[in-house]
Amino acid sequence: MHFEYLIEGGNFSKAGTASSLFKKVLKQLNVDPILIKRTVVALYEAEVNIVAHAYNGVIKIDLDTERIYINLTDEGPGIPDIELAMQKGYSTASPEVREMGFGAGMGLPNIQSNADNLRIRSEVGKGTTVEIEFFLKN
Amino acid sequence: MDNQYFHHALNFREEVCIGCSHCMSVCPTEAIRVRGGKSKLDPNRCVDCGECYRVCPVEAITIEDDDFNKIFDYTSRIALIPAIFMGQFPEDITATQIFAGIKDLGFTHVFEVEQGVEILRDALNKYTKANENLRPLISSFCPAVIRLIQVKFPSLTDNIVLLRPPLDIAAHYYRKRMIDQGATEDEIGIFYVTPCAAKIAAIKSPVGEETSIINGVINMDVLYNKVYRIIKKGGSHNFDVPGIRPLSSYSITWSLTGGEAALVKGHCLAIDEIHNVIEFLEKVENEEITDIDFLELRACDQSCAGGVLANGNRFLTTNRLHRRADVRKHKGDDPGKPEEKPITSYKEDLQKDINLTKVYPRSMHKFDDDMSKAMKKMNQFNELLKLLPRVDCGVCGAPSCQALSEDIVQEKAHLTDCIFVQKIYEQRGSLSQSDTVKIMKDIWGDERMNPYSRFE
């Protein structure tokens, strides 16, 4: 099954909408609640990253009985040093974003700790692609 | 365990139901459908919140309590009264008058549920400290909320505080105390006076414990009428009522919105009314909210003061309880008659019994247990939804186009139940007018679709 969600950069009031919609899908498919939680937490963090840093983005999700594959591609400033961005607490979020309760530098580490696979590719000045994968059966 | 139906206190009387579908539209878990002109409840989805009971115009929905005379099966008849009961009465009626009235009806003892708060308060703070890795913790106070989490937010069942609510603690205490005073188990009848359907359901089929120690339940409006009548007739002079101790100020307000949250250490938040609760739990489930330690969630607006069986105005009840608490606070919170053995002297015993067993999820959202089947059904669901008008008119007998699509996928309804689809099929010639009338009769009953009954 395939799902797509468009994400608007800077619209914090809508941040989390895609995660909520996809959560409902996983519940309806009777996916294990623990895996739902892991997936939704990772997806939410990645969705907020697009809202906080990029101009716009699209989330594409492919789902079958074996795995959940999430591809988040954005047009945005890109990440100059991915390794640094992966460190806990490292953040480039603006003070305004932090005031809204985002940008604590835990987003990427949180995705990492929940996902079975995480791959980030980025081109400075163009955008970022985050791929997150979960396996349904151990 | 927990795979069977929930017990429900809400009873739909088909012979009274006029199939107006008001209940169907307000049900927060979409548990109601109309078939044959009558409302039908899906017991797996119902959480006993009682919203349907509030809106039924013909009293077709009843809340099943026990026969009042059941109290006389016991020699020691204990009325467990929640603090909001006192708030139902006008302010010129005193607590003593009310208690005396209850005793006149045949109860031998009267005890206020919130005495249990004295035990729970410390236990709750210990629990929040011991479970620091689990945030936010969700109160186990409101049984409708627990059931809502089970069916709608299955991944949050672990966040429920596994401690008994004050009601259970109070019942345990009173039973132990009566036994210490020489009564035997089967002589003691503990009857809870309930402000809502959810508490009855929780007592008749408890979640998180094996069996309930409460012998019966009496609806609050029933007791209110009986007691008020006695007082209006001149009142009882039976003022010597065993069991009464003044509640502390924080116990009086415990069942009101914010009452629990005020006593738990850390960042606490109180939310009342079931739609508000659902909206907030969505966010909690996504982990959008991470800095809250304890959530007090109540299904009714103004919490128990707004219970479906609490007949007084909920704002006045809340106000009266706050005023009573203020007076108590002013007098100092710990007086009590020294000759009575208070609940705190049973603290150790009661704390041993205070834990609930694990609460299990019972998801209502799944299309199928088997994931590949569920995916097929979901595809079918998405295709169906595109065919439906998305006006959620309810004419199909389901509360929304989405609910109808789900029902069709689960083979509980047909696409032609939709009146828009019927019109299109009629125009195409694939359904005749008598076909569509037949469909409408199946949903709304023969009578409503009989052209001679109203249009002659």
pLDDT at B250 over 60: yes
Dihedral sign, Cα of residue B197, residue B201, residue B207, residue B213: positive
> Selecting from 3.30.565.10, 1.10.150.120, 3.40.50.300, 3.30.390.30, what CATH number does the domain A2-135 have?
3.30.565.10
Per-residue pLDDT, B356: 86
Q: Do B154 and A37 touch (CB under 8 A)?
A: no
Over chain B, what is the mean pLDDT?
Answer: 90
User: In chain A, which residue's Cα lies nearest the Cα of B155?
Assistant: A33
Interface of B with A (CB under 8 A): 154-155, 157, 282-283, 285-288, 361, 363, 365-372, 374-375, 378-379, 381
With b for 16 or more beta-carbon neighbours within 10 A and e for fewer, the B258-281 pattern comes to: bbbbebbebebebbbbbeebbebb
Cα of A84 to nearest chain B Cα, Å: 24
Inform me whether the C-beta atom of residue A104 falls under 8 Å from chain B C-beta atoms.
Answer: no
Give chain B's domains with CATH numbers: 1-64 (3.30.70.20), 68-132+158-255+302-352 (3.40.50), 366-456 (no CATH)
Q: Is a pLDDT exceeding 60 seen at residue B340?
A: no
Tell me the nearest-neighbour CA distance from B402 into chain A, angstroms.
13
Q: What integer pLDDT is reported at residue A90 of this predicted model? A: 84
Over range B23-51, report the average pLDDT: 95
Local structure of B22: helix, strand or coil: helix
Q: Which of A29, A44, A65 has the CB atom closest to B288's CB atom? A: A44
pLDDT average, residue stretch B237-260: 83
Distance in angstroms (rounded) separating the CA atoms of residues A106 and B12: 51
Q: Is the pLDDT of residue B15 over 60?
A: yes
Instruction: Return the residue of A nearest to B152 by Cα.
Output: A27
Q: Report the alpha-carbon distance of residue B352 to residue B173 in Å, rounded.
A: 12
Residues in A closer than 8 angstroms to B370, CB to CB, are 30
B-chain CB neighbours of A2 within 8 Å are none
Could you count the other beta carbons within 10 Å of the beta carbon of residue A95? 7
Instruction: Residue B365: list chain A partners with CB under 8 A.
Output: 24, 27-28
* A residues 48-77 lying closer than 8 A (beta carbon) to B: 63-65
Q: Judge whether A1 is closer than 8 Å to chain B, CB to CB.
A: yes
- With an 8 Å Cβ cutoff, is A40 touching chain B? yes
Q: Look at residue B38 and tell me whether its pLDDT is greater than 90.
A: yes
- Which whole number is the average pLDDT over B429-452? 89
- A99/chain B closest Cα distance in angstroms: 14
pLDDT in tens, B192-212: 999 999 999 888 877 666 667
CA distance B158 to chain A (A): 11
Query: Across the A/B interface, how many CB contacts are shorter than 8 Å?
Result: 62
Residue B380 DSSP SS3: helix
Give the model confidence (pLDDT) of A70-114 as tens digits: 999 999 999 998 888 888 888 888 887 777 777 777 788 889 999
- Give which of B371, B373, B405 to mutate to test A binding, by max A Cβ within 10 Å: B371
**pLDDT (0 to 100) of residue A96:** 79
Q: Find the CB nearest B365 among A28, A41, A136.
A: A28
Cβ–Cβ contact A16 with B under 8 A: yes
**Which residues of chain A make contact with B369, given a CB cutoff of 8 A?**
30
Distance CA B316, CA B145 (A): 24
Each domain of chain A, given as residue ranges in start order, spans 2-135
Interface check A36 vs B, CB under 8 A: yes
Return phi, psi of residue B381, to 5°.
Answer: -60, -50
Q: Which residue of B lies nearest to A137 if distances are taken between CA atoms? A: B371
Q: What is the pLDDT of residue B83?
A: 94
Q: Please, which pLDDT band fits residue B6 given cuts at 50, 70 and 90?
A: low
User: Which pLDDT score, from 0 to 100, does residue B222 have?
Assistant: 95
CA B261 remoteness from chain centre: 19
Q: How far is A65 from chain B (nearest CA, A)?
A: 6
Chain A's closest residue to B365, CA to CA, is: A28
- B10: helix, strand or coil: strand
The 3-state DSSP composition of chain A as helix, strand, coil percent (nearest 5) reads 40, 30, 35
Please report the pLDDT score of residue B451 as a whole number.
67
| Mean predicted confidence (pLDDT) in B413-438 | 94
Residue-level pLDDT at B192: 96
For residue B286, the distance in angstroms to the closest alpha carbon of chain A comes to 6
Overall average pLDDT of the B143-152 stretch: 94
Which among B361, B366, B372 has the least Cβ separation from residue A28?
Answer: B366
Q: Residue B385: its chain A contacts at CB < 8 A?
A: none
Of B283, B285, B379, the CB nearest to A1: B379
List the one residue out of B144, B139, B143 whose CA is nearest residue B51: B144
Whether residues B371 and A19 touch (CB distance < 8 A) is answered with no
Contact, A45 vs A108, CB < 8 A? Answer: yes
Reported as a single tens digit per residue, the pLDDT across A31-84 is: 888 899 899 999 999 999 999 999 999 999 999 989 999 999 999 999 998 888
Cα separation, B26 vs B77, whole angstroms = 38
Encode pLDDT of B384-409 as tens digits.
Answer: 999 999 999 999 999 999 999 999 99
- Best to test chain B binding among A23, A25, A26, A28 (most B CBs inside 10 Å): A28
Taking the C-alpha atoms of residue B439 and residue B450, their distance in angstroms, rounded to an integer, is 13
Which tokens in the block code for residue A82?
A: 């991915």
Nearest by CB to A36, from B155, B288, B381: name it: B155
